[in-house]
């Protein structure tokens, strides 16, 4: 095993950020669309050409643009064909299984045509078959993620409504359920995009699954929307907030090209940083021998035993995680019914090795930074105590020697502080830990097609100009590179994902945070007690000296006793408060109590998610839907991001510095 390892080769050689677009718009039957269909197609073609030109002018390498679309007739299919013609990737979150989606969007009017389309046969009605053929043609060239969990229920209601047009209850139930599924697929699309392109007349915004509803949902989730008026397709504008929907468009204003370029640049470029800089970090297989003091303090004061045992930690190698701690996840992913082998391959070759790599580096940097500060406090205490040790040692004539040692200790503090600042231990630890934590629950996200919307990622350090925002950018694109799985999210698929991937991960993390909270709270409490004891001993030392001095003055003992013992009392009177103050400094710097509280909160959130997953899996089968499963994974993702934010709030300003 090499002593160091740079960014794993598959990631280093293949990782490239890409721009992700979404598209929504009116159907072909919409009057506003049909009256301007040719102009809308031309406007979309010009827009896509402009986007390609903007991407070509940005620094660094990128993958092809990826367009997400539900591929209904009209805007979606036109945009999809244009994207494929430009060599873009086409990803399709279908609101239903592929067969049912084709059948519903072909709009058959008879059960015979429904049966034919669901069986994969041509429909008898030529117009219906033409629509179905167009859908089959474009979906065959796309990556499809099918929300097929409610297909049986939807098909039953659809058949009832066609068989009996007077059954308004069945028709309403069918319309409601299909609208909900379309809205859900629209949310999946939004979560995976940087910019949503919408062809919308601005009239109806409250129909679930409709174009206006998708536009409003995108803005609510923080995704900007490029809005094209179907009557004036060349005069598009960009909206960034829901409130902008109420502001009428200015017909005299041209397309906001500058804002479009800014959005694209922000999506794929971090100014002053490039993925090549990751090559500067080196993964090592074991923890550093020189920086173990922080973990020793945790061991000694944490009450778990083995206080003086070895602190050596072996980090899991990026190339070994698939057969090691990630083996169960990989096996579960491969066994998912109808799962996507490409996603499993991405997990094994890219995502899990990247997690192991960043986790190992972050752990070593954490040791260097936290132990470095603890060493500074210890050296400061030793400097003070050594500086006056000549008194009880009776070596006043050798005071210069003690002063020299004190100077060396103080120099060590300065050297260590300078090294930590120059090597950026704090900054690098923060960055690599964020990457690792964002990727820790990646299998749950990727296998179930869930993503944190671009607008909901934390904005960290973006205005500082030092590239501090790159971990979020890198992790987002590392996850996005995998993309939606080519799979049908049936109830069996969802159950397998929740039972074998999400639930074990949540349980393991809940146990980890619970144990961590207990350990850190114990460390805080015991450090506090020892620091208090030091100050109590200092008081006792001073009182003892004063008592002896008073007894001598009263003639109760020889006056020389207090004088003889005075150097010892002076030493202890200084040493104990110094030691207590520096232990308190370590406790304040490490903030064991607040970190324990953060882990306690995280454990409680994870416990609640664990309980919710258990209830969903043990409940009625029809309750296990993609919407319910996605909500749980979003809750998991939110808990992770909130824990990272709390951790950063504690340690963000605690740079390696001189103890004061």
Paired with 487 in beta bridges are 145
**Size of the chain, expressed as the number of residues it contains:** 660
Could you tell me how far CA 243 lies from the centroid of its own chain? Answer: 28
Paired with 197 in beta bridges are 23, 226
pLDDT of residue 11: 58
Give the Cα separation of 100 and 106 in Å (integer): 10
Residues 6+ apart with CB under 8 A from 18: 62, 63, 64, 65, 66, 89, 268, 477, 480, 481
Residues 6+ apart with CB under 8 A from 331: none
pLDDT of residue 648: 83
Domain 20-243+255-267 CATH (choose: 3.40.50.450, 3.40.50.150, 3.30.300.180, 3.40.50.300): 3.40.50.450
CB 142 within 8 A of CB 80: yes
pTM comes to 0.91
Provide the 8-state DSSP code for 462: T
pLDDT of residue 660: 59
pLDDT in tens, 509-552: 999 999 999 999 999 999 999 999 999 999 999 999 899 889 98
In degrees, rounded to 5, the angle at the alpha carbon of residue 179 between the alpha carbons of residues 499 and 627 is 15
pLDDT of residue 449: 96
pLDDT of residue 6: 64
Residues of the chain with pLDDT under 70: 1-15, 460-467, 657-660
Among left, alpha and beta (phi > 0; psi -120 to 50; other), residue 483 is left
64, burial (CB in 10 Å: exposed 0-12, middle 13-18, buried 19+): middle
Give the Cα separation of 518 and 308 in Å (integer): 20
pLDDT in tens, 154-177: 999 999 999 998 889 989 999 999
Which of 568, 17, 49, 656 shows the shortest CA–CA distance to 276?
17
Paired with 145 in beta bridges are 93, 487
Give the Cα separation of 219 and 241 in Å (integer): 5
The helix or strand, by DSSP H or E, that contains position 187, with its residue range, turns out to be: helix 168-191
Domain boundary assignment for the chain: 20-243+255-267, 293-651
Q: Which two tokens stand for residue 422?
A: 């120059």
Paired with 237 in beta bridges are 227
Give the Cα separation of 173 and 158 in Å (integer): 9
Give, in order, the Cα–Cα distances in Å from 339 to each of 91, 322, 568, 632: 16, 18, 74, 20
Per-residue H/E/C for 417-460: HHHHHHHCHHHHHHHHHHHHHHHHCHHHHHHCCCCCCHHHCCCC
321 in helix, strand or coil? coil
How does 614-647 read in b/e, with b if 16+ C-beta sit within 10 Å? eebeeeeeeebbbebbbebbbbbbebbbebbebb
DSSP 542-590: HHHHHHHHHHHHTTSS-HHHHHHHHHHHHHHHHHHHHHHHHHHHHHHHH
Give, in order, the Cα–Cα distances in Å from 566 to each of 228, 343, 379, 573: 87, 74, 25, 10
User: The sheet that has 195-199: what strands, in order across it?
Assistant: 232-239, 225-229, 195-199, 20-25, 66-69, 89-94, 143-146, 487-488
pLDDT of residue 464: 38
């Amino acid at each position: 095993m090499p002593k160091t390892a740079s960014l794993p080769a598959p990631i280093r050689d293949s990782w490239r950020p890409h721009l992700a677009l979404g598209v929504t718009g009116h159907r072909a039957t919409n009057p506003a669309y049909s009256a301007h269909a040719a102009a809308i197609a031309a406007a979309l073609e010009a827009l896509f050409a402009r986007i390609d030109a903007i991407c070509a002018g940005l620094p660094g390498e990128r993958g092809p643009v990826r367009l997400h679309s539900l591929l209904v007739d009209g805007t979606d299919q036109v945009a999809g064909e244009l994207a494929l013609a430009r060599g873009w990737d086409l990803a399709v979150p279908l609101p239903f299984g592929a067969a049912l989606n084709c059948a519903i969007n072909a709009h058959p009017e008879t059960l015979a045509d429904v049966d034919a389309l669901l069986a994969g046969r041509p429909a008898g009605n030529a117009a219906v078959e033409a629509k179905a053929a167009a859908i089959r043609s474009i979906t065959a060239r796309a990556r499809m993620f099918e929300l097929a969990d409610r297909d049986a229920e939807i098909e039953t209601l659809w058949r009832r409504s066609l068989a009996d047009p007077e059954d308004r209850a069945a028709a309403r139930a069918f319309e409601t359920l299909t609208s909900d599924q379309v809205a859900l697929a629209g949310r999946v699309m939004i979560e995976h995009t940087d910019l949503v392109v919408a062809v919308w007349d601005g009239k109806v915004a409250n129909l679930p699954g409709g174009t206006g509803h998708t536009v409003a949902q995108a803005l609510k989730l923080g995704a900007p929307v490029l809005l094209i008026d179907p009557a004036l397709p060349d005069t598009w504008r960009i909206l960034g907030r829901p409130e902008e929907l109420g502001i009428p468009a200015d017909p005299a204003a041209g397309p906001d090209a500058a804002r479009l370029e800014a959005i694209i640049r922000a999506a794929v470029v971090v100014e002053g940083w490039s993925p090549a800089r990751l090559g500067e970090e080196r993964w090592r297989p074991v923890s550093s021998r020189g920086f173990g003091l922080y973990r020793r303090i945790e061991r000694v004061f944490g009450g778990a035993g083995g206080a003086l045992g070895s602190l050596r930690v072996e980090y899991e190698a990026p190339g070994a995680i698939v057969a090691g701690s990630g083996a169960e996840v990989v096996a579960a992913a491969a066994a998912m019914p109808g799962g996507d082998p490409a996603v499993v391959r991405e997990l094994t070759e890219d995502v899990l090795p990247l997690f192991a790599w960043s986790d190992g580096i972050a752990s070593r940097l954490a040791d260097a930074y936290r132990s470095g500060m603890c060493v500074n406090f210890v050296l400061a205490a030793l400097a003070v105590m050594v500086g006056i040790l000549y008194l009880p040692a009776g070596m006043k004539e050798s005071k210069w020697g003690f002063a020299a040692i004190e100077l060396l200790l103080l120099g060590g503090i300065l050297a260590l502080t300078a090294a930590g600042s120059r090597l950026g231990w704090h900054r690098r630890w923060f960055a690599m830990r964020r990457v690792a934590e964002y990727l820790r629950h990646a299998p749950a996200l990727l296998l179930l097609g869930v993503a944190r919307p671009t607008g909901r990622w934390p904005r960290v350090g973006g205005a500082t100009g030092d590239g501090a925002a790159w971990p979020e950018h890198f992790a987002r694109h590392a996850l996005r590179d995998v993309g939606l799985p080519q799979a049908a999210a049936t109830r069996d698929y969802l159950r397998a994902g929740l039972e074998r991937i999400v639930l074990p991960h949540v349980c393991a993390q809940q146990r980890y945070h619970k144990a961590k909270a207990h350990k850190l709270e114990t460390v805080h409490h015991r450090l506090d007690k020892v620091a208090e004891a030091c100050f109590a001993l200092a008081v006792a030392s001073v009182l003892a000296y004063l008592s002896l001095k008073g007894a001598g003055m009263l003639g109760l003992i020889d006056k020389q006793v207090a004088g003889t013992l005075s150097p010892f009392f002076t030493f202890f009177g200084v040493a104990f408060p110094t030691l207590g103050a520096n232990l308190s400094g370590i406790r304040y710097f490490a903030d064991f109590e607040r970190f324990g509280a953060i882990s306690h909160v995280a454990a409680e959130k994870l416990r609640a998610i664990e309980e919710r997953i258990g209830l969903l899996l043990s409940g009625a089968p029809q309750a296990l839907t993609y919407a319910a499963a996605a909500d749980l994974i979003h809750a998991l993702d939110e808990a992770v991001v909130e824990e990272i934010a709390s951790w950063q709030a504690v340690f963000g300003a605690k740079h390696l510095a001189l103890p004061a």
